[in-house]
Structure 1
């Protein structure tokens, strides 16, 4: 059940070849890369997975490939869609393929709590019984959900077992959700894991984020679990310049793909059009950032 989710859920990229076609072989290598570097599970077809650039057939193909390759690791599939009918149809498809659950953000245009509650009541009439991640990401969804509204959704809909909390500021929101006396659900955090050590201390159960060095996410989480907060902070700080570089929206995803290409996780760093391309200056900056990370990793390991 999603309520018991913890650890590192990697927001996985959708790899494309040089022509912009979905690269299924790179999904295979990417899953293995993430598995070797501490992934507890996967989230696919999210915002940074370029889900909005895929056809419906491609989205199903990508979800199926990730689920098949992940094996014993759970896969959550992003299904948010302005069309409730299409959302419900895709949810049923991925659950039949073996997904652990689906992730849903409220659609743009919702302005009141009454509209919010009405939307999710309608959604769960279609998706009754489907384990669901409630994504609180107003930067992308354009819908602000208050803590009381989120708690009411959790109490009204047992399908909601996990909250992906990436509103800003996030820390007090996590604290207020954790202090609630209602049904406990898991909380994973997003925002490219930029605030991960602080979020873990506030009661988050782990990150749901993407980063070209996923082993950092796993190691910071493990150190926190062992009560070694200072070591977790030291390790996190080592990677922060590159993490911050990758946090710049779709341009940052492009940078992340390039680093993962260099690390052998995917064959190409292609972003599907419309999407950014890295300039020579961008690549030079990445050269320096990655070199500094590798140097400091060696120093940290030898300390």
Structure 2
């Protein structure tokens, strides 16, 4: 069983200009991630537009990435769905394809936390793969308070990691570590905006789709080496780009896809509808910021 830590990049799902899954770009993107020295790859998350894929496309993305990675880093497969039977099915398919772990968010708008826990329990029984609990209230509409994670730690043996997306992630990291007696490996999120602070609170890494994953890899390396001051300075240098990318209201995913296209990792920046676009001025601002920070396209 591979340990998951460090930078587990949330993978895009590249499409052609006509909206079909672009497997050639997906393979190229996967190699791009690996050359950036990421420690893991997470697929079929929100960043991967999993909710816009057919079941056959989900399987295609899963098999393509796992085959391309070929065991070099752990691959975590998102199995979130509105129904428990769906998530169980996705978990079994992920295990069959060779995934190293599964990630699961609560069913959308399910406010009864007893039922949420039951959902996790059923999916965990479907496979012995490590489970990443995805805490993403903005999309799911479900708030998971720290005591909930204490229950998960006690009742679900395969639940070993948590991906946090509820601000302030720093405070919640401390609370979950307390409630779970340190059982979970905690990953930050929120586009990477608080990565240094999350590490300093005890996170083992981050799961985000930031389009310069090698920057986060270096922050993590410096922090793990004990040079926290250098890690903080390096992180803060690139924080303006991390913040710019996280403009969800103007199409954060579209911005990231534009960057990956500029960097030659994917052929098209197409985002499946419904999705906000990015205007020309925003693209110009992006180019200006990349130049200001001295960031090349490759």
Q: TM-score range by the shorter chain?
A: over 0.9
CA contact (8 A) 1:155 1:182 kept: no
Summarize the alignment of residues 202-281 of structure 1 with structure 2, pairs less than 5 Å apart.
202-249=201-248, 251-281=251-281
C-alpha deviations, 1:204-227, integer Å up to 9, x for none? 001111111111110000010011
Q: Counterpart of 2:157?
A: 158
Higher relative contact order (CA 8 A, sep 6+): 1
CA contact (8 A) 1:6 1:206 kept: yes
Shift of 1:267: 1.1
Q: Counterpart of 1:6?
A: 5
Summarize the alignment of residues 91-170 of structure 1 with structure 2, pairs less than 5 Å apart.
91-125=91-125, 127-170=126-169
- Counterpart CA distance in 2 for 1:21 and 1:119 is 32
C-alpha deviations, 1:247-270, integer Å up to 9, x for none? 122711111111111111111111
Q: Counterpart of 2:187?
A: 188
Shift of 1:183: 5.9
Summarize the Cα distance change of 1:219–1:151 in structure 2 as closer, same or farther, 3 Å threshold.
same
- Counterpart CA distance in 1 for 2:30 and 2:116 is 35
Q: Higher mean Cα deviation, 39-48 or 235-244?
A: 235-244
Unpaired runs of 5+ residues, structure 1, are: 298-303
- Counterpart CA distance in 2 for 1:238 and 1:70 is 31
SS across alignment from 2:16: coil
Q: Counterpart of 1:176?
A: 175
- Counterpart CA distance in 2 for 1:183 and 1:280 is 47
Shift of 1:177: 2.1
- Counterpart CA distance in 1 for 2:237 and 2:49 is 28
Query: If the length of structure 2 is used for normalisation, what is the TM-score?
Result: 0.94
Shift of 1:38: 1.7
* CA root-mean-square deviation: 1.7
- Counterpart CA distance in 2 for 1:67 and 1:120 is 24
Q: Aligned pairs, how many? A: 294
CA contact (8 A) 1:154 1:183 kept: no
Q: Higher mean Cα deviation, 216-225 or 136-145?
A: 136-145
Unpaired runs of 5+ residues, structure 2, are: none
CA contact (8 A) 1:155 1:183 kept: no
Summarize the Cα distance change of 1:36–1:273 in structure 2 as closer, same or farther, 3 Å threshold.
same
Q: Counterpart of 1:286?
A: 286
- Counterpart CA distance in 2 for 1:272 and 1:263 is 21
Shift of 1:117: 2.7
Moved over 6 A (4+): none
Q: Is 1:75 aligned with 2:75?
A: yes
- Counterpart CA distance in 2 for 1:142 and 1:182 is 27
C-alpha deviations, 1:231-283, integer Å up to 9, x for none? 11111122111111111227111111111111111111111122233221121
SS across alignment from 2:133: strand
- Counterpart CA distance in 1 for 2:190 and 2:167 is 9
- Counterpart CA distance in 1 for 2:35 and 2:50 is 25
CA contact (8 A) 2:91 2:123 kept: no
